[in-house]
Chains A and B, each alone.
Chain A
Amino acid sequence: MSASVGNFDQTVTIMPNAIVCREQTTIKGDVVIGSRTIIQPTVTIIAEKGPIIIGESNLIEEYVTIINKTDQPMVIGNNNVFEVGSHSESLEIQDNNVLEYKCRIGPKVKLTNGCVIGTMCDFNDDLTLPENTVVYGPDCKMRKQLERPALQTFQLDFLSKIMPNYQRIEKPRKGVKNDEK
């Protein structure tokens, strides 16, 4: 049963209404998870030095890895979607962004609003993506989209209803800071 139980540090803060599945989920370091955010099983979120702050109504799917290897805080805004297997080390992700399946973004990239990182894109340029940018294809071509991607409200509502029936959910709690110990 040990594998099915989550691996959470005491320093993790989970806001009320957030749904964090325990099964094979690893959340380490100073991490804050905002309300109505859904974290599915097998997700890895590690704050090695600087903290990770995840906003509201984000959807983080299976096998997603979010790592902060720097001293700076990593801030993830609201209504972002991390699809299955995506990997993010970006320090700034604002609102309404989509990271598609198995994409990978490095620490130098910054996302503004409404950006889409395409499937399997490995993107680590030192730049801030302007609003509604789509990165696609093996060469990470870029184009500007007219509209930002649709909100996943329906999916979030559905998951927040269905998840507690089948998954062990970590209860909302206040993280204990390291120096308070």
Chain B
Amino acid sequence: MDVINEIFATNKVLYQCACGHCKPLTHIYFCRYCLKMRCKDCVYHEVDSQYCQHCLEYIPTIDAKLKKNKCASCFQCPNCMHTLTPRTFLASVPSETDPNGMTTRKAQFLLCSYCKWSSKDVGIPDQFIGSGGWPEIEAPNRKRVEGLVDHYRVIAQRERMEKEKKRINPRPGHAIHLLDKYGISASLSAKLTESLRTKAYSGRISSNYLSASKSLTDIKLEPSLATDDVEPLDVDTFYNKDLIESEISSIEQRLMQVEMQPNTVSQFYPISKMLYVKRSLRCKECDHNIIKPEYNSSSIKFKIQLSAFYDIPEVKIASTPKLIPHKESMVELTFKNPYQYGMHVCLQPLKDEEMDESITGKIILPKAEFILECKDDTLEPELDSTQKTRYNDDPQLITFRRGNKIGLRLTVIPEIDSGRCRVCFRLRHDFVNSVVQNKSTGGSEPQVSWISHKIYVDLGPVIESKESIA
């Protein structure tokens, strides 16, 4: 896992998102419509569909709400949180036809293959196949909580109604709204439209009021009372009884069963699996989808996936030298073009006002522009010998060129005596937009635009000189 994190989620090279957050390239999206970086903190998250991660069953949103976002058929072990597996066996039951005889019937119980917890441990009767699901345990405060939720819903509704009543200009009713939509109201007389408006409004209000007042009387809720009576503390259970560790549940186990919070192992009950959601992400500025997963819950593919990993050049540290404070050292960075078009790239220093405290080193950037070739899966870089001669590369600056990847040698001067050396620069490149076509050229030519990103590179700790320590 560490190796994977090192490659895909390294914090050494951070890109600044349009919202100002710095994140590794793998955590950033790139909106091809606004041509801006987006991260999970600056996009809309929308729930696409709900599904059970274990049985992969798709559950519609309304059903999921009714089932408290839990799967009806999959359970988790209350002891170790592993998924429980139903075990089928043949049980002998009294026969229906012969009162004295016995017959066998398929029954099942739930078993955890990890810690061997089974539904028999807590005395849950075995389920016969075809007799429906496992009985659901009722939470002790369910009625009270539901009553409170209903009560406050009514109160919220009433408050909303009062607010609406206070409004001077009533919102047009649905009928009048239609009139406006199709431009009929202009052709009707002013008197007629006004009467229609008031009619629609008053009718709506009164009907709403009726239902609201009705439901308030329906709910009979006892208000909670504060009492001075406190249950006496049973000292015996805490001090005088032997503690058997294996019979008491741990805090994690109690919190996993938050409705019941069993104190002892014998009160455990299989936990229903919580549903997972598929999310789609939407750009806040242009309302285009950035991520849209496929609807099918067993699919891991995406319909739309505008991850920056596919569009923006990837910067990596190839080699870090010994960083001596206030002295020049050579750092090798690699740039890789993941996009289907070639790119012209140039590196720009930050403006003075863009500098911040976290930048602890100075980087000397080349003025020249260089070209990154497009990504070509079929290309074999070792065989392509013409590439070296095709570009007039300065060997002092460019250490190697292999396919869509290029190595640059840059000079860094750490400006601190101890700590980590961080440098920052702007990466400016052209971007051929294959999604958005340029309207001015008649839609046939792809639109080319220049974009720039602020990139922070953490080169690691500087070597503290012995003089400064002494």
Q: Which residues of A contact B118 (CB under 8 A)?
A: 146-147
Which residue on A lies nearest to B244, using beta carbons?
A144
A164 at the interface (CB under 8 A from B): no
* B-facing residues in A115-147 (Cβ within 8 Å): 116, 118, 134, 136-137, 141-147
Minimal beta-carbon separation of B421 from chain A (angstroms)? 38
Minimal beta-carbon separation of A80 from chain B (angstroms)? 16
B265 at the interface (CB under 8 A from A): yes
Which residue on B lies nearest to A135, using beta carbons?
B115
Asked if A143 and B115 make an inter-chain contact with CB atoms under 8 angstroms apart, the answer reads yes
**Interface residue total, chain B, C-beta cutoff 8 A:** 11
Contact A142 B246, CB 8 Å, known A136-B80, A137-B80: yes
B302 at the interface (CB under 8 A from A): no
Minimal beta-carbon separation of A148 from chain B (angstroms)? 10
Q: Which residues of B contact A146 (CB under 8 A)?
A: 118, 120-121
Contact A134 B246, CB 8 Å, known A143-B79, A145-B121, A146-B121: no
Q: Which residues of B contact A142 (CB under 8 A)?
A: 246
A65 to B117: give the CA distance in the assembly, Å.
28
Minimal beta-carbon separation of B262 from chain A (angstroms)? 14
A147 to B87: give the CA distance in the assembly, Å.
15
Q: Which residues of B contact A116 (CB under 8 A)?
A: 116
Q: Which residues of A contact B246 (CB under 8 A)?
A: 142-144
A30 to B116: give the CA distance in the assembly, Å.
35
A70 to B120: give the CA distance in the assembly, Å.
41
Q: Which residues of B contact A118 (CB under 8 A)?
A: 114-115
Which residue on A lies nearest to B118, using beta carbons?
A146
Asked if B120 and A147 make an inter-chain contact with CB atoms under 8 angstroms apart, the answer reads yes
Minimal beta-carbon separation of A53 from chain B (angstroms)? 28
* B-facing residues in A123-181 (Cβ within 8 Å): 134, 136-137, 141-147, 149
Asked if A137 and B115 make an inter-chain contact with CB atoms under 8 angstroms apart, the answer reads yes
* B-facing residues in A7-64 (Cβ within 8 Å): none
Q: Which residues of A contact B121 (CB under 8 A)?
A: 145-146
Q: Mark B446-459, 1 if CB is under 8 A from A, else 0.
A: 00000000000000
* A-facing residues in B220-261 (Cβ within 8 Å): 246
Asked if B120 and A143 make an inter-chain contact with CB atoms under 8 angstroms apart, the answer reads no
A96 to B80: give the CA distance in the assembly, Å.
23
Asked if B120 and A136 make an inter-chain contact with CB atoms under 8 angstroms apart, the answer reads no
A145 to B120: give the CA distance in the assembly, Å.
10
Q: Which residues of B contact A136 (CB under 8 A)?
A: 80, 114-116
Q: Which residues of A contact B114 (CB under 8 A)?
A: 118, 136-137
A137 to B118: give the CA distance in the assembly, Å.
17
A141 to B81: give the CA distance in the assembly, Å.
13
A144 to B115: give the CA distance in the assembly, Å.
10
Minimal beta-carbon separation of B263 from chain A (angstroms)? 16
* A-facing residues in B26-46 (Cβ within 8 Å): none
Minimal beta-carbon separation of B113 from chain A (angstroms)? 9
Q: Mark B112-131, 1 if CB is under 8 A from A, else 0.
A: 00111110110000000000
Q: Mark B78-120, 1 if CB is under 8 A from A, else 0.
A: 0110000000000000000000000000000000001111101
The one of B115, B120, B265 that contacts A141, using a Cβ cutoff of 8 Å: B115
A167 to B114: give the CA distance in the assembly, Å.
32
Q: Which residues of A contact B80 (CB under 8 A)?
A: 136-137, 141
A142 to B118: give the CA distance in the assembly, Å.
15
Which residue on B lies nearest to A147, using beta carbons?
B120
Residues in chain B within 8 A of chain A (CB atoms)? 79-80, 114-118, 120-121, 246, 265
Known contacts A116-B116, A137-B114, A147-B120, then 15 further A-B pairs from the complex at CB < 8 Å, ordered by chain A residue: A134-B115, A134-B116, A136-B80, A136-B116, A137-B115, A141-B80, A141-B115, A142-B246, A143-B115, A143-B116, A143-B117, A143-B265, A144-B246, A145-B116, A146-B118
Ranked nearest first, the 8 interchain pairs of A and B with the lowest CB-CB distance are A136-B115, A134-B116, A146-B121, A144-B246, A145-B116, A116-B116, A136-B114, A143-B246
Can you give 17 contacting A-B residue pairs, CB < 8 Å? A116-B116, A118-B115, A134-B116, A136-B114, A137-B80, A137-B115, A141-B80, A141-B115, A142-B246, A143-B79, A143-B115, A143-B116, A143-B265, A144-B246, A145-B116, A146-B121, A147-B120
